[in-house]
Amino acid sequence: MHVSPLAWIALTCAVVAAVIMLLYLVYRPPLDGKTKGFLALGLGVLPIMTALIGNVEGLRATEHQAFCGSCHTMDFHIADANDPDSMGLAAIHSRTKMFGDRSCYVCHKDYGMYGYTLTKLGGMGHVYYFLTDYAWEDAHESLPRVHIARPFRNDNCMQCHSTSGRIWNGVPDHQGLLEDLRAGQTSCASAGCHGYAHPFSKPPEDETEPAEARLDPGVKAPEGT
Amino acid sequence: MNRWFKKLLDRGSRSRLLVVACVLGLIGLALMSWSLFDQGWIPVMMAMSIGQVIGTLSFGLFLLVVIIDLRRATFRPSMPAQASRKEDR
């Protein structure tokens, strides 16, 4: 358990506020200006500080694997991401410092203008599905049903892999599919290309089939993919 | 609702309201502090929703006590009434 310096400040505010409230409850002093001043601190200023810092810390916590993994439905995904022997995309990326213990968030967040808010709203959707459905099953039962809400966007991959580098463009498949990849017509994380991010969660036939995870089902896969 | 609130403002017990405010405040603070140590989804969501609602309610009750106090206070004018002038007599 790591508690940040900011969290210690919040905790100090909470403790002081709690002491003020407990003193009032125990001694019940007359309600003069001095008592009201202390109560304004204990019931207003200090708890508001705790809440504000708690929000910052709470939102920061939502970016860590520990938060995503606190739902049992994600047990296998987290275990695979942290497996040093796994060659899934999630595991390969989680081994790098930039992703590390924030790998779920770095890959799955929305990078658009309102990305932070949209990502949090998506997270609330996960909470809803968890409470209304998945919470009552064990991880083995829910594994075949867990799926991404919408196909994984290549835009997220392109935050790091710009698709403009010489080495990247030197790969023949990348060259042939450049426009499709940039437009999101062909998914980087598909069985025919780099494989699924969490391959253990797919049925065996999906792993070998050169399937295309297409965003637009109406568009056919280019040959050779 | 309006009548109930007016009755509360006129005859509500300030010390009882403050006791409720303090108890709620302690519960809210406990929920908010829990998330600082355990950053799973339950503590974090409890802190950012129920914890803050309870904390806000507690602060609201304190403000209500302040309003009740102000309504019951008798204010003395800060300036004495101007003495009547001679020519007015």
C-alpha angle with apex A124: A122 to A128, nearest 5 degrees?
Answer: 115
The string of pLDDT tens digits covering residues B3-40 is 888 888 888 889 999 999 999 999 999 999 999 989 89
**Which 3 state secondary structure label does DSSP give A204?**
helix
Nearest to A127 among B29, B41, B61 (CB): B41
**Which 3 state secondary structure label does DSSP give A61?**
helix
Sequence ranges of the domains in chain A: 5-61, 65-149, 152-225
Residue A66's closest chain B neighbor by CA? B40
What pLDDT, on the 0 to 100 scale, is given for residue A212?
A: 41
Q: How close does chain A come to B88, measured CA to CA in Å?
A: 43
Residue B14's closest chain A neighbor by CA? A31
What pLDDT, on the 0 to 100 scale, is given for residue A205?
A: 63
Q: Does A38 touch chain B (CB under 8 A)?
A: no
> Does residue B39 contact residue A69 with C-beta atoms inside 8 Å?
no
The string of pLDDT tens digits covering residues A111-145 is 888 888 899 998 999 999 999 999 888 888 989 88
Residue A6's closest chain B neighbor by CA? B36
Q: What amino acid is encoded at A186 in this protein?
A: T
